[in-house]
Amino acid sequence: MWLPDRASSKPVYRQIAEHFERRIKSGELTAGSPLPAERKLAAELAVNRTTVIQAYEELRASGWVVSKVGSGTVVAGGDASPLRTADWRKYLDVGTMLPNSDAMRRIRSGLRREAGLVDFASGELSEDLFPGETVRSIFSEQPYDGPLGYDDPQGYGPFREALAAFLLRQLRIGTSASSLLITSGSQQSLFLIMQCLLSQGDAVGVETPSYCFSLPLLQSAGLRVYPLQVGPAGIDPEDVVRLHRRHRLKMLFLNPNFQNPTGTVLSAERRAALLRIAEKEGIPIVEDDPFSLTAFDGRPPLPLKAEDAGGRILYVGSLSKVAASGLRVGWLAGPQEIVSRLADARQQMDFGMSVIPQWLAAKLIEGEAFDRQIGRLRAGLALRLDELRASLDYHLSGSVSFEPPGGGLNLWVKWLGDNDPRQLRMLERAMSVGVAYVPGQVFGAEEPSLRLCYAKPEAGQIERGVIRLKEALLRS
Amino acid sequence: MWLPDRASSKPVYRQIAEHFERRIKSGELTAGSPLPAERKLAAELAVNRTTVIQAYEELRASGWVVSKVGSGTVVAGGDASPLRTADWRKYLDVGTMLPNSDAMRRIRSGLRREAGLVDFASGELSEDLFPGETVRSIFSEQPYDGPLGYDDPQGYGPFREALAAFLLRQLRIGTSASSLLITSGSQQSLFLIMQCLLSQGDAVGVETPSYCFSLPLLQSAGLRVYPLQVGPAGIDPEDVVRLHRRHRLKMLFLNPNFQNPTGTVLSAERRAALLRIAEKEGIPIVEDDPFSLTAFDGRPPLPLKAEDAGGRILYVGSLSKVAASGLRVGWLAGPQEIVSRLADARQQMDFGMSVIPQWLAAKLIEGEAFDRQIGRLRAGLALRLDELRASLDYHLSGSVSFEPPGGGLNLWVKWLGDNDPRQLRMLERAMSVGVAYVPGQVFGAEEPSLRLCYAKPEAGQIERGVIRLKEALLRS
């Protein structure tokens, strides 16, 4: 990041002004783009606020920027500017991809800026739960020897072979390399399914609450989304039949094991019923299964896919929640013709993934190393969940109610207090006292609720986070 | 890949039948999916064709498959099948992503299957032009120490910093880390631009011929595409004005340096004129620049972006054609607000790229190592182009005409012979004698023409490839 040179003879305010002038000339900042708020910039550059004010004055004087009430200082456009900078504003609100929700964007920007925040919001593992040691030793023991050219559209062959064996060993899913598509996390699998197998206006059934609603993806794809309420035993198959009669469901999106956010496991009876319905009515099921292997007792409930005779289930998984999200390695298992159609479409979007993370992933999931990692992970997650439960019981008893899950990364909390954690101002307040969570409506929940991910904060931070929650949410 | 166990007491035809039965039961092969042609499968499994016929007989007898005139043997559906397998056919032809063209798919499948093919079709570098040594030494000298969690939506910070310095040093492009988006090759940059900044029915100007037409991308995005003919000095700025008056162009897609496929360089006067028009008419330009650094004389023409005052140009580049396509590391440089909008949308599609290839790329582009690589690459490409020219002059003089480029990977060949290399049967014929090329119409060309990429075949293979071309295309 650019910083003023205090050694230079040129006054700091001039350096700042010239810095922005350069960036406007280079077209990085175009007509209408805002300059940082004076207070914020002063903090970032560790200079006196008056210095920033002076710099902006100078830029105004020379016509590079204008100040508008409300929108602060923005780059000048049209004839106001010494140079006619492009006006991109009309390009910013078109296209098929909707922006993320306010809450999510607020959380993300907060997490980037505010240090020392206890992060119950990011649904990922903390650094110390990653297999960092294993990764380093893999790279140092054997320098990369995979291909450097374009690879198979379905993904790196040796990894798909290893993955087929892995899925059979760990989850009793019978598949083969040719029926697997390697994707950039589960996210890309879901995106491909929605963009390539469904059309605008198609009706789909989605668990409610569900992290799916946190993705603008469904709306971006223009799908009609019908909610399936999640109870203690998961969704009710009868609801599926009812919805299908009325709306002709084209697909179901389910997360049967340790559902995100509720943590529930779909009961055995309901699984059987759902599979019968899927066959009878011909409704394919997208089974998103990020958490099965985190089962604290080491005995994951079998995925639906393990009982899928007839190829009705598109099984979506990834290493993000059981190894490292930064690998961006996920997969989709399904009928070969579907997999190759999606692989062909993915070529258009990004021409496929780098082999390097797949090469690494192949070594990660082979044999003991992974079993050690997953064992360590289960213990670590169980420990954190215990700390979270104890802290909530101690500090917020009476204001919260929850069902502790048997696996996964998230605790779903119903809020019984007066304030509603779903209000943006409550989220703001929480972040201002140093704790982040995801408010319930992001998942489509109708009652006051929030999701607390216990995987991201280091053990030990968790109680501090809960105390801050209390401070933010109980205060009237 | 599965192979029958010849040691087993179970007859091979039974093993084959059971293999397919397993894959049908597991849902890998669903109603209507074709089984391999008997002859092809016999070759793959190195068994006698009658063995395959026996195996298919058995599957037919037990009702797993049915044989249809024309479509061969396919998995049985509905009541014909012992098990009601899902019917995905109605999901295969919807969605917004169009499949690749016949020619491209034929070429890809050919390249996968037919060994010993001289490959003038794939627009990428051969293994020996990749910086394999450097990559191995980077990983072995310093085990990976980058993050393993979700990363900045715009890409790995240290790489963006290194890239900003690299673009300034190599191509005089002034930008900064905050104005760069790291993408999965140029392909993802183009996809993001078309999906997020343009809407269905928008008019865009595209060079003709252009590799753009080889991407179903433009059609998938529903854009109205208007051709800009490429002459010896590139496109004519007057054509842009004319098209804009008539159709209100929302954007131009250009590849000014060593254009793909023609290899032409846009002249200095025309660059200046285009920049004036872009400013006057307010038409943003997407500048795709994969080849600048390959300039054989080591003095690349400056990209338009280097002269972009006002931020009208979205600059798209990658390491695919100058280092290794398998890294899948590309970038987009543009106004900050555009870059962050695209980063936000990309999160929805794949939640960002793995840091590992970006960590590697940061080390690759720093300092001497890269200069050595690029020097070696330029020499290697120039050598191959010389061999291709000489071979064409010697073996096909009178049937071909071409303008040798000063850089890039491709030679654009006008075909003067009787046969038209654009016909699928000519392509088939060429591949049957062991050489692959891309027919001109794939790039939107109207006259008989083909693109020969000289970067992929090893030096020494090239003349053999040309002799095979002659054999395929001159034969009546």
Q: pLDDT band at B213, cuts 50/70/90?
A: confident
Is A26–B328 a contact, with Cβ atoms under 8 angstroms apart? Answer: no
Residues B155 and B35 both lie in one domain: no
CB-closest option in B84, B124, B175 to A310: B84
Residues B219 and B243 both lie in one domain: yes
pLDDT at B114 over 90: no
Strand order, beta sheet including B449-453: B400-402, B410-415, B449-453, B438-439
B206 lies in a domain? yes
Is B335–A30 a contact, with Cβ atoms under 8 angstroms apart? Answer: yes
Reduce the DSSP state of residue A138 to 3 states and report it. Answer: helix
Question: pLDDT by residue (tens digit) across B5-43?
Answer: 999 999 999 999 999 998 888 888 888 888 999 998 999
Contact A339, A181 (CB under 8 A): yes
Which two structure tokens, joined as six digits, stand for B288? 């795709």
On chain B, the residues whose CB falls within 8 A of the CB of A304 are: none
Reported residue count of chain B is: 476
Residues A32 and A109 both lie in one domain: no
Beta bridge partners of B234: B231
Q: Average pLDDT for residues B178-207, to the nearest whole number? A: 94
Across chain A, mean pLDDT equals: 92
Instruction: Choose one of B319, B352, B367: the last residue of a domain.
Output: B367
Residues B235 and B325 both lie in one domain: yes
Contact B384, B392 (CB under 8 A): no
**The pLDDT value given to residue B389:** 98
What percent of chain A shows pLDDT beyond 70?
Answer: 98
Which pairs with CB-CB distance under 8 Å and at least 24 residues apart come from B219-228?
B219/B98, B220/A348, B220/B96, B220/B97, B220/B98, B220/B194, B221/B194, B221/B195, B223/B194, B223/B198, B227/B444, B228/B252
pLDDT at A355 over 80: yes
Is A88–B337 a contact, with Cβ atoms under 8 angstroms apart? Answer: yes
Per-position DSSP letters for A29-92, written without gaps between them:
S-TTPBPPPHHHHHHHHT--HHHHHHHHHHHHHTTSEEEETTTEEEE--GGGSSS-----GGGT
**The pLDDT value given to residue A80:** 65
CB-closest option in A310, A313, A350 to B188: A350
CB-closest option in B175, B324, B341 to A149: B324
**The pLDDT value given to residue B2:** 83
pLDDT at B83 over 80: no
Is B30–A311 a contact, with Cβ atoms under 8 angstroms apart? Answer: yes
Q: Which carries the bigger pLDDT value, residue B87 or residue B210?
A: B210
Q: How far apart are CA A20 and CA A82, in angstroms?
A: 14
Q: How far apart are CA B144 and CA A139, in angstroms?
A: 7
> Does B290 sit behind a cis peptide bond, omega within 30 degrees of 0 on the bond before it?
no
Is B336–A33 a contact, with Cβ atoms under 8 angstroms apart? Answer: yes
Contact B261, B451 (CB under 8 A): yes
Residue type, B315: Y
Is B311–A27 a contact, with Cβ atoms under 8 angstroms apart? Answer: yes
A135 lies in a domain? no
On chain B, the residues whose CB falls within 8 A of the CB of A95 are: 195-199, 345
pLDDT at A71 over 80: no
Is A96–B195 a contact, with Cβ atoms under 8 angstroms apart? Answer: yes
Residues A53 and A106 both lie in one domain: no
CB atoms within 10 A of CB A38: 17
CB-closest option in A88, A143, A179 to B338: A88
Reduce the DSSP state of residue B402 to 3 states and report it. Answer: strand
Residues B331 and B223 both lie in one domain: yes
> Does A36 sit behind a cis peptide bond, omega within 30 degrees of 0 on the bond before it?
no
Q: Please state the ipTM of this predicted complex.
A: 0.90
**The pLDDT value given to residue A95:** 64
DSSP category for residue B323: I
Q: How far apart are CA B141 and CA B39, in angstroms?
A: 50
Residues A419 and A342 both lie in one domain: no
Contact A270, A237 (CB under 8 A): yes
Task: Give B331 to chain A, closest Cα distance, Å.
Answer: 12
Q: How far apart are CA B87 and CA A284, in angstroms?
A: 9
Is A97–B136 a contact, with Cβ atoms under 8 angstroms apart? Answer: no
Residue type, B396: L
Nearest to A407 by CA among A294, A304, A318: A294
List the CATH number of the domain containing B347.
3.40.640.10
Question: pLDDT by residue (tens digit) across A257-291?
Answer: 999 999 999 999 999 999 999 999 999 999 999 99
Q: What is the dihedral of CA B201, B206, B211, B217, to 10 degrees?
A: -10
Q: Are strands B449-453 and B438-439 parallel, antiparallel or unpaired?
A: antiparallel
CB-closest option in A149, A324, A335 to B149: A324
Contact B174, A22 (CB under 8 A): yes
Task: Give A191 to chain B, closest Cα distance, Å.
Answer: 6
Q: How far apart are CA A207 and CA A243, in angstroms?
A: 12
Q: Which carries the bigger pLDDT value, residue A247 or residue B213?
A: A247
Q: Using only the alpha carbons of chain A, give its radius of gyration.
A: 25
Instruction: Choose one of A317, A335, A367: the last residue of a domain.
Output: A367
Task: Find where tokens 């650019």 sit.
Answer: A2
A4 lies in a domain? no
Residues B197 and B341 both lie in one domain: yes
A376 lies in a domain? yes
CB-closest option in A122, A184, A197 to B350: A184
Closest residue in B to A123 (Cα) is B150
**Residue B45 burial by CB count (10 A; 0-12/13-18/19+): exposed, middle or buried?**
buried
Q: Average pLDDT for residues B110-133, to the nearest whole number? A: 90
**The pLDDT value given to residue B80:** 65
Measured in Å, how far apart are chain B's first and last C-alpha atoms?
40
Reported residue count of chain A is: 476
Residues B251 and B275 both lie in one domain: yes
On chain A, the residues whose CB falls within 8 A of the CB of B336 are: 28-29, 33
List the CATH number of the domain containing A429.
3.90.1150.10
Residues A84 and A161 both lie in one domain: no
Task: Give B390 to chain A, closest Cα distance, Å.
Answer: 27
Contact B208, B440 (CB under 8 A): no
Q: How far apart are CA A55 and CA B368, in angstroms?
A: 39
Number of structural domains in chain B: 3
Q: How far apart are CA A135 and CA A5, in angstroms?
A: 39
Is A99–B26 a contact, with Cβ atoms under 8 angstroms apart? Answer: no
Question: pLDDT by residue (tens digit) across B397-439?
Answer: 999 999 999 999 999 999 999 999 999 899 999 999 999 999 9
Lowest mean pLDDT of A171-175, A217-221, A363-367, name the range: A217-221
Q: How far apart are CA B40 and CA B22, in angstroms?
A: 20
Q: How far apart are CA B179 and CA B163, in angstroms?
A: 11
CB-closest option in B135, B220, B326 to A151: B326
Helices (H), A257-305: 268-281
Closest residue in A to B147 (Cα) is A326
List the CATH number of the domain containing B35.
1.10.10.10
Closest residue in B to A101 (Cα) is B344
A39 lies in a domain? yes
On chain B, the residues whose CB falls within 8 A of the CB of A145 are: 136
Task: Find where tokens 């059309």 sit.
Answer: A199
Phi-psi region of B142 (alpha: psi -120 to 50; beta: other; left: phi over 0): beta
Across chain B, mean pLDDT equals: 92
B155 lies in a domain? yes
Q: How far apart are CA B243 and CA B264, in angstroms?
A: 22
Is A176–B23 a contact, with Cβ atoms under 8 angstroms apart? Answer: yes
Reduce the DSSP state of residue B17 to 3 states and report it. Answer: helix
CB atoms within 10 A of CB A302: 16
**The pLDDT value given to residue A30:** 86
For residue B27, the enclosing domain spans 12-91
Closest residue in B to A91 (Cα) is B197
Contact B130, A148 (CB under 8 A): yes
Contact B240, B283 (CB under 8 A): yes
A141 lies in a domain? no
**The pLDDT value given to residue A96:** 65
Residues A230 and A341 both lie in one domain: yes
Closest residue in A to B331 (Cα) is A350
A150 lies in a domain? yes
A206-218 burial code (b ≥16 CB/10 A, e <16): bbbbbbbbbbbbb
Q: How far apart are CA A215 and CA A465, in angstroms?
A: 26
Q: How far apart are CA B74 and CA A335, in angstroms?
A: 14
User: Cβ contacts of residue A69 below 8 Å, gap of 6+?
Assistant: none
pLDDT at B355 over 80: yes
Task: Give B404 to chain A, closest Cα distance, Å.
Answer: 25
Closest residue in A to B187 (Cα) is A350
Secondary structure tally for chain B: helices H, strands E: 15, 15
Task: Find where tokens 């075909």 sit.
Answer: B415
Closest residue in A to B280 (Cα) is A84
Q: What are phi and psi of A384, to 5 degrees?
A: -65, -40
Contact A219, A96 (CB under 8 A): no
Task: Give A335 to chain B, closest Cα distance, Å.
Answer: 4
Q: How far apart are CA A125 and CA B231, in angstroms?
A: 55
**The pLDDT value given to residue B259:** 98
User: Cβ contacts of residue B2 below 8 Å, gap of 6+?
Assistant: A176, B19
pLDDT at A145 over 70: yes
Q: How far apart are CA A469 and CA A430, in angstroms?
A: 6
Q: Average pLDDT for residues A314-329, to the nearest whole number? A: 96
On chain B, the residues whose CB falls within 8 A of the CB of A154 are: none
Q: Are strands B251-254 and B65-68 parallel, antiparallel or unpaired?
A: unpaired
Instruction: Choose one of A313, A341, A367: the last residue of a domain.
Output: A367
pLDDT at B173 over 70: yes
Q: What are phi and psi of B314, to 5 degrees?
A: -95, 110
Residues B320 and B444 both lie in one domain: no
Q: pLDDT band at A135, cuts 50/70/90?
A: very high
